[in-house]
């Protein structure tokens, strides 16, 4: 195994050349890396943990998502470091090392697709593949100042991936510019490009921007001004997302906890939404990997060990209520968003935390982060994290969401918006990344 000397993004380097195909080769000449959760024929899928790698045999076939980009002309240069068992959004791995955040070396790169994001952010590859269950594409994309796309749930094949929690697992990707992001999407989504379609509305979730630890105007106003320039004032709309969710997802009452109200400013219905999401994730993770964990008793790093054993020991109550939340939220957001509407929220509540920050110190940040991440996670809608340069020398971003199945529409919207977004970021004195 050869690790990248500068950024530690790779846990294993090898070269897999493009495979012959009659498909249009949209990715000719591009290089990519693969999170160590995707099967690659002849290689052990390590799932971020040495004990997992030692107790599993080499894969007998390559995951369809990887094959698709190979057949489109891209060259795979290796597998990347990830959080153990995909169970973190920090990106720190005690076994293989923490990939260095290219935007902020003293900060976490974000996980669990940490190495995949760092490989793109550090220009080691043109794009990379990762997965997003609770935020593992969107968070590292934001922290590393790059684009990250979480597709609609089920839109990209997850065959040949180690499952984390199937109700939420998605295969996504990273890129440094929206053109490559969209080209990769054309291959993985297997959808025709119907050209650029004007959004009917871009809806700003005002309450979500209040969760930011930096001045919300630095993010929200950049987006608003860009939308005004390209689409006009009439395209903009505003919503209190928490109120909308609370009124239209009645089953959330099962996940409203008394301690939510005592915390610093948060959006209570979205905290309840994230509680439901994490409960169902724990249940499915235990079904997938509980026997292996109890039998092997793997060595797991700080934070990961506690999270894994919490899942293994969970009682599995309220699972039907979790599934009802999913159904109700999907209906609520379909009611809020038309076929050509886009919802704007922060990707995360602030810049990346410092390396080795204690979990207790991160709790308020994590609550806010999962409040935001759970919207697409639970609904299964597609979401893209868009870099907006730096603020106080740390990367910042904004996210756009669209209805399930509107992935190409969302990618095309990003292509249209991004040039003006960069200009507005510079006007707002956020240097371009």
Is 285:112 a contact under the CB 8 Å cutoff?
no
Q: How far apart (Å, rounded) are the C-alpha atoms in residues 10 and 310? A: 29
HSE-up of 268 (CA within 13 Å, CB side)? Answer: 15
112 catalytic? Reply is: yes
Determine which one of 35, 201, 326, 408 is catalytic: 35
HSE-up of 242 (CA within 13 Å, CB side)? Answer: 19
Q: Which residues pair with 171 in a beta bridge?
A: 131
Q: How far apart (Å, rounded) are the C-alpha atoms in residues 337 and 329? A: 12
- Burial (Cβ within 10 Å: 0-12, 13-18, ≥19) of residue 296: middle
432 catalytic? Reply is: no
β-pairing, 341-345 with 201-205? parallel
Within 10 angstroms of residue 91's Cβ, the number of other Cβ atoms is: 29
35 catalytic? Reply is: yes
Angle at 404 between CA 419 and CA 379, to 5 degrees: 110
Q: How far apart (Å, rounded) are the C-alpha atoms in residues 174 and 244? A: 31
Is 89:369 a contact under the CB 8 Å cutoff?
yes
Determine which one of 79, 88, 112, 274 is catalytic: 112
Determine which one of 88, 113, 116, 136 is catalytic: 136
Q: Which residues are catalytic?
A: 35, 112, 136
């Amino acid at each position: 195994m050869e690790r990248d000397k500068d950024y530690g993004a790779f846990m294993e380097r090898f070269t897999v050349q493009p495979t012959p195909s009659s498909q249009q080769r949209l990715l000719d000449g591009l290089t990519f890396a693969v999170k160590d959760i995707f099967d690659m024929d002849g290689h052990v899928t390590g799932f971020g943990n040495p004990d997992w790698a030692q107790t599993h045999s080499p894969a007998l076939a390559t995951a369809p998502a990887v094959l698709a980009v190979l057949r489109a002309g891209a060259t795979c240069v290796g597998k990347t470091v990830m959080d153990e068992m995909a169970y973190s959004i920090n990106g720190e791995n005690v076994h293989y090392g923490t990939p260095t955040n290219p935007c902020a070396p003293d900060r976490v790169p974000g996980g669990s697709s940490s190495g995949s994001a760092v490989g793109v952010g550090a220009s080691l590859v043109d794009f990379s593949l990762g997965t997003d269950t609770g935020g593992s594409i969107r968070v590292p994309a934001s922290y590393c100042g790059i684009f990250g796309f979480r597709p609609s749930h089920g839109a990209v094949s997850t065959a040949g991936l180690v499952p984390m929690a199937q109700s939420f697992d998605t295969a996504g990707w990273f890129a440094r510019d929206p053109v490559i992001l969209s080209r990769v999407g054309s291959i993985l989504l297997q959808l025709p490009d119907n050209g650029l379609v004007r959004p009917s509305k871009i809806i700003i979730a005002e309450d979500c921007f209040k969760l930011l630890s930096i001045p919300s105007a630095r993010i929200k106003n950049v987006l608003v001004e860009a939308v005004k320039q390209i689409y006009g004032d009439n395209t903009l709309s505003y919503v209190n997302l928490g109120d909308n969710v609370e009124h239209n997802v009645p089953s959330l009452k099962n996940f409203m906890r008394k301690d939510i109200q005592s915390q610093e400013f948060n959006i209570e219905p979205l905290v309840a939404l994230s509680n439901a999401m994490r409960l169902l994730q724990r249940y499915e993770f235990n079904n997938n990997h509980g026997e292996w964990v109890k039998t092997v008793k793997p060595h797991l790093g700080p934070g990961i060990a506690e999270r894994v054993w919490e899942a293994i020991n969970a009682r599995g109550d309220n699972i039907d209520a979790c599934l009802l939340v999913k159904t109700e939220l999907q209906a609520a957001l379909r009611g809020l968003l038309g076929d050509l509407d886009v919802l704007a929220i922060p990707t995360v509540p602030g810049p990346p935390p410092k390396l080795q920050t204690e979990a207790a110190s991160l709790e308020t940040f994590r609550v806010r982060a999962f409040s935001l991440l759970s919207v697409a996670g639970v609904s299964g809608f597609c979401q893209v994290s868009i870099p907006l340069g730096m603020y106080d020398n740390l990367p910042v971003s904004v996210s756009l969401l669209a209805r399930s199945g509107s992935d190409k529409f969302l990618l095309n919207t990003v292509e249209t918006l991004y040039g003006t977004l960069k200009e507005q970021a510079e006007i707002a004195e956020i240097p371009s990344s």
